[in-house]
Each structure stands twice: as structure tokens, then as C-alpha cells.
A and B are shown apart, each in its own frame.
Chain A
Amino acid sequence: MSLSRRQFLGWIGAAGTTAAAGSKATAATTHHFQGYPDAMAVLHDTTFCIGCRRCEGACNAVNELPAPEKPFTDLSVLENRRRTTSKAYTVVNQKPGNGSGPMFVKNQCNHCLEPACASVCFVKALTKSKEGAVVYDASVCVGCRYCMVACPFEIPTYEYDSAFSPRIMKCTMCHPRALEGKLPGCVDSCPTEALVFGKRDDLLKIARRRITRRTERYVDHIYGEREMGGTSWLYLSGVPFETIGMRMDLGVTPAPELTAGALGAVPMVVGLWPVLLTGIYAMSKRKEKIAAEEKALAVAEALTEADERAAAKLDATMEKAEQEKTAAVEKAVKEILTAEAKARAETEAAAAQDPQATGGNEKDA
């Protein structure tokens, strides 16, 4: 039952009519998602990080990623800024500190509470698990790479070198290990407690306590508490976060809200456009109809007028013809009469000369 209903809704969705109906991304509500209760998170206190790269090595091992060109013990790679790749879910970067030696900061998926990557995935290959991790299902991924475009932290990577089964590659917060009750590989391997795994709520309390207790050690900000609506990785730093390469201009708006307005407009367009267009069509049709009627009327009027004019003309012609005829008849009569009169006159004249002949003529007539 539920499957068929879901399927039905899905087909409706596919038809584009309720593309946004099932969406959690609703704008202009007072609702604020604080993350799943008891979801796990990691606190990265960068002031404790010594740049040993053991987390990178552990990550590589537990995720069975290919061996890097240089071993994880080679710290020279820290000299250049690195980003995550399809062969490294996490990288440690070295930044100039505040006089007391360099700073190190670990970079990996921040596992947003409302992830941009998951909200833009059109096949739901990326989802936020209730345990806290943003997990990826390669079995449905089409490879559009919109998640990579969307991620404000520039984390997801792609296996561009694979022709037949390329995958999005990114940190899983060791979700499979967490389900077994184990620590994430990186946290497990950290020798300095720069990484702490725990419930997000607890970690926020710990972070806040550290900042209040040692104000000289920390800047007064927990990175990830509110950035992009909050993330499951939280950071503490002794220097402004920009200086260790973390963007402070991302804002606190959860990513799905950025597109909620556009998605919300979809059903409105679907609902109103046909009405508007049919209205315009009806108007243009009506205009055409009126024009046609007016034309027909004008034609009819013109015809009537022409008829009348023709009739009048005919009448006039007839009358004229009649008159002409009458005139012609009269003329003919007149001519005949004249001719007769003339003939009579001649006859009379002839009779006057020859009365006998005249008598003979009268007999012939």
C-alpha cells in the first residue's frame, strides 16, 4: 500500500506537477532544524593539532583507499595547500599561526545538518543519516556532480578516471564503523585529542567551556555551530578562522532554503500558467471571432448596399430604357405619322393633279 502510494506520488512528481510537494525545503517558516537528536559529531580543536597526518593514514586504511605517492609520514606535503581528492577523504593543511609556530587544520566533509549536497541530489544518492553522517549510495548515482557544485566546503570529489563506474568520493564520518560502535578512523588515530567524537550537543558544551575557560587560547567562535545551518564537525581555533583557510562568509542559512523559493514557485507556475495562457488564447480567439463577425457584417452591409445600388441603378436604367423606349416609340410613331402625313400630302397633291390615280391608290391601301 505504502509502496504503491509512494510510487504514485513519485510519478506525479515525475510529471512535474508536484515537484516540490514532498520537499522539506519550505521557505518562510519558523521551523529550524537543529539536527537529529543524539546525532554524533566530531570536535576538531585545531589548537591541539600537530600536523602528524596520522588521521590521513588511518582514513586511508579504514576506507581502503589507494596508497598515496608519498607516505603519510612525509610531512613535506603540508607545505602546499591541498584539498580532498577521490583518493584522500581528508587532508591536513598547514597555515602560518600567530607567532607561536604554524597552525594545522584538518579538512574533510563537515556533515552538514541540512546538507547542500543531499538537497541537490536528484536521485537521493546522498542522505543525512540520523546518526549524523552524510552518506552516499553509489548504486543509484548518475554522476551529474551537482553535489560538488553545491558543497560550500568544496568536499565531494569524483573518480574522473573511471570510465564505467565513477563514484563521488567523500568522508563518511566512518558511518559503517559508527554503527559497529567504533570511532571514526581519524579520531581513533589522533595522538593529541585534537579530534573528539561524541554527541553534537555534548561537543558544543565542551567547546563552549574550553573557550570560556581559556579565552587567551581561543577565538570566541565555534565553527560549524551555525555555519550553513550547522554542521556535524565543529572547530575551535586560536586564530581567526579565515587565516586557517575556513570561510567565514558562508552565512547561517541552511542550503535547502537557498532553493526553496524557486522550488516553491513550481506548483504555482503549473497551476496558474495554463489558466493565464488559456485566457490569452480565449482573448485572441474572441478578438479573431469579433473581427470575423465585423468583417462578415461589413461584407453583408456592403453587399446590401451594393444590391440596393445595383437595384437603383437597374431601376434607373430600366426607367431610362423605358423612357428611351417611349421616346423611340413616340419618335417612331411621330415618324410614321409624319411619313403618313407626308404621304397623304403627296397623295393629296397627286390627287389634285390626277383624281383617278388617287382613287386607284386608295384601293391598294
Chain B
Amino acid sequence: MSDKTATTGQPIFSPFNIVAGFILLVGGIITILRFTQGLDAVTNLSDDNPWGIWIGFDLLVGVALAAGGFVTSATVYIFGMKQYHAAVRPAILTGFLGYALVVLALHYDVGRPWRLPYPFIMQRGTTSLLFEVAACVALYLTVLFIEFSPAALEWLGLKRARDIVIKLTILLTIFGVVLSTLHQSSLGALFLIAPSKLHPLWYTPYLPIYFFVTAVIAGLSMVIFESSLSHRFFSHKMDAVHLAGKDTVPLGFGKAAALVLAGYFIIKVIGISAGNTWHYLATGYGAWYLVELFGFVALPAFLYAVGVRDKNITLIRWTAALTVVGIVVNRFNICLVAFNWHLPAGERYFPHWMEIGISVFIVTLGVVVYRFIVTRMPVLYEHPYDDVP
């Protein structure tokens, strides 16, 4: 069942393969440059701007968008909303790939990647939020790997091993939610140390809470977004349950996203009040802040609500895309746009094209691996074992 559709009817030089192959080739060349010539050769990082898009996009956005895994598994297994069960495996898979790619991207960004285990094995800097992020990401990547393993084990026909993992489902889900809460919020808390560098509109003690709430929004939206892409490109791999759930996920997750976005809008306004930063809204940065707040928080909340009320699946899907863009805007604002706002324009950061190249390379790698897995393993259909939870 699984191999046939993957190979037949798809020529090697399909447009997808050509574009993906080209990106992977360029990415490979930049990779060689990065690891032989150093960061200077491929990035615009400087002493004033130590973090660029490899942190702003690959780490911050990557982790937020990979939140679909914990959001979906919690919805189904903890909150008991079984009607979304078909969405769990694709979400866990994208979550796992997302985190794996984040860790891969970090190898490019840090100066000595082979020392990444040092914070655990050499000296533990437990006063650092980055330590917490590192510990949680490492553990959560393991959790996601175990959570996804049943699909691989079913593919390999190892029923006994798979049954053992299935028994751990609830434990793993709870562990996953705890770890996600911690590191999603800690990514925001990373910036708490720098009130003198981050624009006051974005700097607030609520940053960790904002990051966690937006991660939930990102998770819900990514599941809708990915499921619409999957239904478009991989519907031949789906079983009847999955195909029947085509509208269930956008309607349910869209409603949840509308509510969480509305709550997020409220706590954002509370943040401005608590920090009493109203007067900054009248500045250029304030205008951009309002674009983020109304264009990427209030608007998608409204559009999701309308889409759910009218059962307009197309609108919900476009809103999911808009929300995902909003998450990118938010993370870029905090890490790049509003960070170092006090510096003169000439000392600000703009990514080198090769930095963008590596980010595109890593996303492409994710798409290729996802495609490889869903065309082979039981992700979009249920394996004919009768006791899938």
C-alpha cells in the first residue's frame, strides 16, 4: 500500500524535485562555507547584533510553529476530544521534524556546535533561561521521537515494541505539555534580560506568557494549515477516517484559535497598560506595533470566528496562513526589529543572503523528509492494528 504511490507516476525530474534539489544543493554549498570559513563568511552577524535570523526564524519561529504536536496530542488524549484523532500523527510528525530542524539550525548558529552537549555534561549554567530552553528542547525532541515511533514501528512491522509505546501515550503527552510550556515561554523569557535593548512596547515582564500563548495559537494554526496542504497533496495516502475529518479539524481548531487569539489580544493590551507604554504607540515603532496587534492578532481572531460561524473552510485555511505569518512577524519583531532599536540605522542587522539560504534550505529539508515519511509510514491513515488509541 505504501510504496506504490510514492514511486509510480512521479518522475524524478518533477518540478518539486528540481526546486527542492536546487535548494538543497545551494544549502549544501553554504553549509561547507559556514563550517570551513566561519560565521563571518556567510552571515551579517556583528558584535552589536549577535543573533540574526538563524535565531529569530529557525529557533524562535521554528519552535513556535512546531507547537502543533503538543497542542493536538493534549486536545485528543488529555481533553479527550477524540474527533481530532486523525490529526495527531501528522502533528506529532511535523512537531518532531520541526524540533529536529531547530536543533540542526542551532549547529549552524553557535560558534562551536560540537560543544552543544557541554551545558549538560561539563558545567550547568542553571541561572540561564537558555539552559532551560536547551534542556527542554533536548528532552522534548526525545519525547516527540518516542511519540512518533509507533508509526515507524508499524511500518517496520514491530508490533510488540509498538504496543509498549502506545501504552505510554498519556504519560508522554503530559510530559510533552510540561516541557512545551517551559521552553515555549522561556524563549520569550530569554529577552527579559535586555530591557535596555528591546523596544518598550515589546519588552514586558509578560513576554514568557505571550510566547506560550502564541505558541498555542501557532500550533492550532499550523495544524489547520498543514492539514489543508496534506489534503491537497497527499489525499491519496489518506484513509476514510482521515478524509472524513477534512472539515472537522479546521472547524474545531479554528474555533479554539479564535478564542485564544482574542485572549491574547486582551493580555497584549493589558501589557501596554501595565507598562504604561501608550505614548510609544504614536511613534513609528508604535505604528508597526499596531499593525502586529490589529493585523496579525485581532484580524485573524475575527476571521477565524466568521469562518467557523459560516462553516467557511477556505476562509479558515487562509486565516491559518495569516496567523502563521503573524507569528513570524511577532518573533522577528522581538528578536530583530525591535531589538537594538536604540542603535543608529547603520549598525542595525539585515540578514546576509546566505543566512536566508540556510533557513530556506532547512525548511526544504523538512518538507522533503515529511514527504518521504507520509508516503511510506502510516501517518495519514491508520495501520490495520485494531487497538490504535
Contacts and interface: CB of A to CB of B under 8 A. Distances in A.
Interface in A156-178: 156-167
B181 A269 contact: yes
Interface string B39-61: 11001011110110000000000
A116 B193 contact: yes
B28 interface: no
Interface string A288-300: 1000000000000
Contacts of B205: 261
Q: Which of B123, B124, B173, B182 has the most CB of A within 10 A?
A: B124
Interface string B117-150: 0111011111111111011100100000000000
Contacts of B178: 269-270, 273-274, 277
Interface in B170-197: 170, 173-174, 177-179, 181-182, 185-186, 189-197
B35 A149 contact: no
Range class of the A interface residue count: 35 or more
B157 interface: no
B126 A250 contact: no
Interface stretch (A101-109, A199-207, A217-225, A251-259): A251-259
Contacts of B127: 20, 22-25, 118-120, 256, 259, 263
Contact of A161 (B40, B112, B193): B40
Given A142-B115, A144-B110, A165-B112, A274 B135 contact: no
* Residue in B118, B120, B136, B193 whose Cβ sees the most chain A Cβ within 10 Å: B193
Interface in A263-290: 263, 265-266, 269-270, 273-274, 277-278, 280-281, 284-285, 287-288
Contacts of A13: 124, 126, 131, 135
A150 B194 contact: yes
B261 to A, nearest CB: 22
A247 B131 CA distance: 29
B318 interface: no
A262 interface: yes
Given A16-B182, A166-B39, A274-B178, A146 B196 contact: no
B124 A120 contact: no
Nearest to B193: A150
A165 B80 CA distance: 51
A86 B196 contact: no
Given A13-B124, A16-B139, A142-B111, A122 B131 contact: yes
Given A85-B47, A258-B193, A160 B130 contact: no
B129 to A, nearest CB: 6
Nearest to A274: B174
Interface in B187-218: 189-197, 205, 208
Q: Which of B39, B48, B125, B194 has the most CB of A within 10 A?
A: B125
A21 interface: yes
A154 B47 CA distance: 8
B196 A247 contact: yes
Nearest to A23: B127
A124 interface: yes
Q: Which 9 A-B pairs have the closest CB atoms?
A: A143-B111, A284-B80, A262-B189, A145-B50, A148-B50, A122-B131, A163-B38, A166-B111, A160-B40
Interface of A: 10, 13-16, 18-25, 83-86, 116, 118-125, 140-146, 148-150, 152, 154, 156-167, 247, 249-251, 255-256, 258-259, 261-263, 265-266, 269-270, 273-274, 277-278, 280-281, 284-285, 287-288
